[in-house]
Chains A and B, each alone.
Chain A
Amino acid sequence: DAKTTQPPSMDCAEGRAANLPCNHSTISGNEYVYWYRQIHSQGPQYIIHGLKNNETNEMASLIITEDRKSSTLILPHATLRDTAVYYCIVRVGGAAGNKLTFGGGTRVLVKP
């Protein structure tokens, strides 16, 4: 699996968009980019994933660069409840199951 690099922490103002970067320069053509978040003391929560096209759902948008070497998760209007650790993961799905490797993530603090 391709390795990902994320900033260890970032702050965001409540009501503003939060843009979380992730570098995955060694990504392969069949590897997906996944984003999860973990709010304190809870299990990780799936946010969004994509292969090469930009994706949007009710939680966030995922922007993947044309060369697929980096991506950005966008939380359009951050709230205090978005304070969490955000994990960017790159993985190819396969017959052995969709196991994911979690790194250190980005600790996001949303401030009022």
Chain B
Amino acid sequence: NAGVTQTPKFQVLKTGQSMTLQCAQDMNHNSMYWYRQDPGMGLRLIYYSASEGTTDKGEVPNGYNVSRLNKREFSLRLESAAPSQTSVYFCASSARTGRGASYNSPLHFGNGTRLTVT
């Protein structure tokens, strides 16, 4: 059981280049999330997908786009990378407990993609 898998693990980009970070989960979770973590800081939510077919902005969405490709996969795209996007990117997923219930299931995280933009 792999859990949440992120690819690539490391990436170096030049300013202006584009790339897509991939995330897949095998836990049949409905909700998926993208966070970024800058050195010495806590995690900040970029985008999330509460269920297949829906995506919503988080705290820091500017400069990013996302695609919920299917229930398993949630990708994060940088169209024109900037040095300010140098960070560690974490993908996470969580289950839903049913319509109308409190969705209090924990998040499961991948081990991150370390991105450097020069």
Contact = CB atoms under 8 A, between A and B. Distances in A.
Interface of A: 30, 32, 34, 36, 41-46, 49, 51, 87, 92-105
Interface of B: 4, 31, 33, 35, 41-45, 48-51, 56, 58-59, 90, 92, 94, 97, 99, 101-112
A99 B46 CA distance: 10
Contact of B107 (A32, A94, A100): A100
Contacts of A87: 42
A96 B56 CA distance: 9
Contact of A101 (B45, B102, B112): B45
A97 B90 contact: no
A44 B110 CA distance: 8
20 contacts: A30-B102, A41-B111, A41-B112, A43-B109, A43-B111, A44-B90, A44-B92, A93-B97, A93-B103, A93-B104, A94-B102, A95-B103, A96-B48, A97-B31, A97-B50, A98-B31, A98-B103, A98-B106, A101-B45, A104-B41
A44 B43 contact: yes
Chain B contact residues, majority secondary structure: loop
Contact of A46 (B45, B49, B106): B106
Contacts of A101: 45, 59
Contacts of B111: 41-43
Contacts of B49: 97
A102 B42 contact: yes
A93 B104 CA distance: 5
A30 B56 CA distance: 23
Nearest to B100: A95
A103 B45 CA distance: 12
